[in-house]
Chain A
Amino acid sequence: MKLDGTNTLAAPIETVWTTLNDPEALRRCTPGLQELKEVGPDTYQATLTIGIAAVKGTYSGTLRITDKQPPRHYRIALEGSGGAGFMKGEGSVDLEPQGNGTLLRWSGDVQVGGLIAGVGQRMLGGVGKMLIGQFFKCLEQRLGSGT
């Protein structure tokens, strides 16, 4: 499924870039992130519990940041598997200055498979977009949202 969104952050582009690349900040905006361990340059091992309401699954896998063009652009690839299935996604984040703040555009292609895909197709797209949106909303709140 293809997902995308836009956020406005009340911080200069360099600050946003630093925050996005800070594992602590990522951890704080991803409540289910149980482990984020750097295992190589821009490569992390991650364990993430993700879901909605009672429907939760724990996924273990890898997160890779590529095509870094500070402070404007990077690509992210992740894949993880767990009891409820697996997921695989890749996407990009683009930043551009907007007034005193930054405009953040994200887009990605996420594939979900296994049990959760076979049962949850009714809500998977909407929930996926919502969860990713929550992450960027959290960042927005941490950095203050601009006008």
Chain B
Amino acid sequence: MKPAAFEYFAPRTVEQAVDLLAQHGDQAKVLAGGQSLVPLMNMRLARPAVIVDINRVDGLEYIVAAPAVLRIGALTRQRAAERSRLVAERCPLLRDALRLVGHVQIRNRGTVAGSIAHADPAAELTAVLTALDGEVVARGPGGTRVIAASDLFVTYLTTSLDPREIITEVRFPALPPGTGWSWMEIARRHGDFALAGVGVVLALGGGVITEARIALTGVGPTPVRATSAERLLTGRAPSEGLWADAAEAVRAAVDPDGDIHASAEYRRHVAGVLVQRALCEALTRVREAA
């Protein structure tokens, strides 16, 4: 398991990185945490001719709380985000999801932005970004642009980023005060890819649900925003029966693949189970916050 030969560059600035990508186009791959790319290279499933290692680029490692949004620089390691006080205070849904990304060793190197750019169909962070209507900032030869989560994930391992663009920042909207949240997933072992995962955000007002956000991972080629279930919940009073209805709506909205670990029917079923349980937990948190 040794990679095929490649050319290696380690730029010091974002501009240099972008220049290199412009020069080499889809022959180049960006290396940040390397937790997905390097195994693919070692197995020779990926043979990029050029590696652009951005680990020495200055100014990309930060977590900043702007009003209503958490801005996370592209080189911020998953473990740093997981342990960040700002993340815990402003976006605990992200923190809870981060805890289930691989293992500590992986999170020590893997980056938040890298996980999002890699777009694994069972990733946690892509679903959290989708649930919260987050966005990424991308820099390429044409300049800088902002891409909303709903426009970002195209299919398995594929985002709408151009091969010559790099993500410089990921933006997660903060959870408003009084909202409840929950991240739940089913995996064969601790740290494994989720067979199905759910992120939920709930807000109540006047005894009824004023905001419901539900996003799932592991049930399709990209994260799924369960808008039909969200509509079903909005304006209604929370109850076990309502959660069950939401679960059915989610089941109808997903079309998971089966594989050697779990059948499609199993994933569809537990997606609904997780939604029910996550809504229940989110409601408890709403009540605790009150």
Contact = CB atoms under 8 A, between A and B. Distances in A.
A99 interface: no
A54 B257 contact: no
A123 B156 contact: yes
B37 A52 contact: no
B64 interface: no
Size bracket of the B interface: 20 to 34
A28 interface: no
Given A122-B193, A130-B221, A57 B156 contact: no
A52 B37 CA distance: 13
B104 interface: no
Given A56-B46, A116-B45, 7 more contacts: A52-B157, A52-B158, A54-B40, A57-B45, A84-B44, A122-B193, A123-B156
A55 B40 contact: yes
Interface of B: 29, 37, 40, 43-48, 118-119, 121-122, 155-158, 193, 221, 257-261
What is the predominant secondary structure among interface residues of chain B facing chain A? loop
B44 A83 contact: yes
Given A121-B259, A130-B155, A54 B43 contact: no
A84 B257 CA distance: 23
18 contacts: A52-B157, A52-B158, A53-B119, A54-B48, A54-B157, A55-B157, A57-B45, A115-B44, A116-B45, A121-B260, A122-B122, A122-B193, A122-B261, A123-B121, A123-B157, A125-B257, A126-B257, A130-B221
A124 B25 CA distance: 26
A115 B261 CA distance: 19
A127 B120 CA distance: 12
A71 to B, nearest CB: 32
Contacts of A39: none
Given A54-B40, A57-B45, A115-B43, A125 B259 contact: yes
Contacts of A115: 43-45
A119 B261 CA distance: 13
Residue among A83, A115, A123 with max Cβ neighbours from chain B (10 Å) = A123
A83 B156 CA distance: 22
Contacts of B46: 54-56
B216 to A, nearest CB: 15
Interface in A38-59: 52-57
Nearest to A53: B157
Nearest to A129: B257
A116 B121 CA distance: 17
Contacts of A53: 118-119, 156-158
